């Protein structure tokens, strides 16, 4: 629930180098997982959309109080509130307007958030997930659906946050994307088991112990991946410090997005210009092959001269005709 007081310093450092620090903070993913679960469970009770929306809003408020209203928590809660209100009003919610309205409202209510690096990273990561992830996933159709989705999300968040990360710490995290893809399947389960522990710790200690045991195994897997990624070669690479490094990384991220967006056009141009060349080369090779291998060498009459006669042609027809014309 965002409490890192008992997190060992070595593990915290490993998670930082592996790019997994965001898992120790409450983010929009946690609100989305719990809200979706609660929405579906309330649906089995045949409650109307508005009643479910009110209960979800209450749940979000309780979570904010429980995990403390930190910048990333407030931003995630604001987006969740906007989405739920849109559903209650019968309007289809869109993540981009929800993010924009949430950020503007929070900055108007708490201008000091503009100086928070955590808030900036949270907004940047969410923007990457909303704007870049669909483009990346569309270029990874050759991968299985699960891997494609996790890879697109991890890569998009990393690309969006990279300029801010190098501004705060001039280092590149070489295994961050891979580590996030590997741990992604256990993150929803860990969130749900943790919520069950909080809800049943007093009323049903037995259920809480089972949920805590399952959550512990999920957390162990994340710690194992963090230690392995932090100890791997190239886990942390030096980068240019200051504004220069951030500007260079921003240009690199922009180039990545342009390449992804134009990937379809590049394939179209390659097909339009290179395929005719390929077909022409095949045609020339076929012509050469027909000239060399499409004939057979035969002897005509008593001549010792070898001629190239196409297959299927009777090479002695001319001699027989001449013999018939002789008196």
User: What are φ and ψ of residue 72, in 5° steps?
Assistant: -65, -35
Q: Which residues contact 126 (CB under 8 A, 6 or more apart)?
A: 28, 75, 79, 95, 99
Amino acid 118: pLDDT: 77
Residues in the chain: 327
Token pair in block for residue 261 = 């967006």
Amino acid 298: pLDDT: 40
Average pLDDT, the chain: 75
Amino acid 114: pLDDT: 81
Amino acid 122: pLDDT: 79
Amino acid 297: pLDDT: 43
DSSP 5-32: TT--HHHHHHHHHTT-GGGGS--HHHHH
Amino acid 90: pLDDT: 58
3-state secondary structure 55-118: HHHHHHHHHHHHHCCCHHHHHHHHHHHHHHHHHHCCCCCCHHHHHHHHHHHHHHHCHHHHHCHH
Q: State which H helix or E strand residue 133 sits in.
A: helix 133-138
Amino acid 15: pLDDT: 86
Amino acid 119: pLDDT: 80
Report which of 57, 109, 64, 59 is spatially closest to residue 85, judged by C-alpha positions.
Answer: 57
Token pair in block for residue 81 = 């509130």
Q: In the Cβ-directed half-sphere of 34, how many Cα atoms lie within 13 Å?
A: 29
| Residue 49 to residue 155: CA distance in whole angstroms | 35
Q: Read off the pLDDT of residues 154-163 as tens digits, 9 standing for 90 and up.
A: 888 888 888 8
Amino acid 309: pLDDT: 43
Q: Which residues contact 136 (CB under 8 A, 6 or more apart)?
A: 151, 152, 155, 156, 260
How many Cβ atoms are within 10 Å of 229's Cβ, its own excluded? Answer: 24
DSSP 233-279: TTSEEE---HHHHHHHHHHHHHHHHHHHHTHHHHHHHHHHHHHHHHH
| Residue 98 to residue 58: CA distance in whole angstroms | 19
| Residue 148 to residue 152: CA distance in whole angstroms | 6
Are the C-beta atoms of 132 and 257 separated by less than 8 Å?
A: yes
Are the C-beta atoms of 125 and 165 separated by less than 8 Å?
A: no
Amino acid 210: pLDDT: 92
pTM of the model: 0.67
Low-confidence residues of the chain, pLDDT below 50? Answer: 295-316, 318-319, 322
Amino acid 225: pLDDT: 92
Ranges of each domain in the chain: 9-240, 296-327
- Chain Cα centroid distance, residue 123: 17
């Amino acid at each position: 629930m965002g409490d890192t007081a008992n997190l060992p310093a070595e593990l915290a450092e490993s998670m930082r180098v592996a790019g997994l620090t965001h898992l120790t903070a409450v983010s929009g993913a946690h609100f989305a997982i719990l809200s979706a679960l609660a929405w579906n469970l309330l649906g089995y009770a045949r409650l109307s959309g508005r009643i479910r929306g009110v209960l979800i809003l209450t749940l979000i408020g309780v979570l904010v109080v429980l995990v403390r209203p930190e910048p990333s928590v407030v931003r995630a809660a604001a987006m969740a509130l906007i989405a739920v209100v849109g559903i209650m009003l019968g309007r289809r919610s869109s993540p981009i307007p929800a993010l924009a309205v949430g950020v503007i409202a929070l900055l108007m209510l708490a201008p000091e958030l503009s100086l928070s690096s955590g808030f900036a990273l949270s907004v940047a990561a969410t923007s990457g997930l909303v704007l870049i992830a669909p483009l990346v996933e569309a270029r990874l159709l050759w991968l299985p659906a699960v891997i494609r989705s996790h890879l697109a999300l991890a890569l998009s968040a990393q690309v969006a946050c990279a300029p801010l990360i190098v501004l705060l710490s001039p280092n590149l995290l070489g295994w961050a994307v891979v580590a996030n893809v590997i741990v992604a399947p256990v993150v929803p389960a860990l969130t749900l088991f943790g919520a069950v522990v909080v809800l049943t710790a007093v009323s049903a200690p037995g259920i809480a112990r089972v949920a805590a045991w399952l959550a512990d195994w999920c957390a162990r897997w994340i710690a194992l991946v963090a230690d392995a990624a932090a100890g791997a070669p190239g886990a942390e690479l030096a980068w240019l410090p200051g504004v220069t490094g951030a500007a260079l990384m921003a240009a690199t991220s922009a180039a990545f997005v342009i390449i992804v967006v134009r990937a379809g056009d590049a394939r179209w141009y390659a097909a339009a210009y290179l395929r005719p060349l390929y077909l022409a080369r095949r045609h020339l090779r076929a012509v050469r092959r027909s000239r060399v291998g499409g004939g057979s060498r035969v002897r005509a009459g008593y001549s010792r001269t070898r001629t190239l006669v196409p297959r299927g042609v009777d090479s002695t027809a001319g001699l027989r005709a001449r013999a018939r014309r002789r008196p």
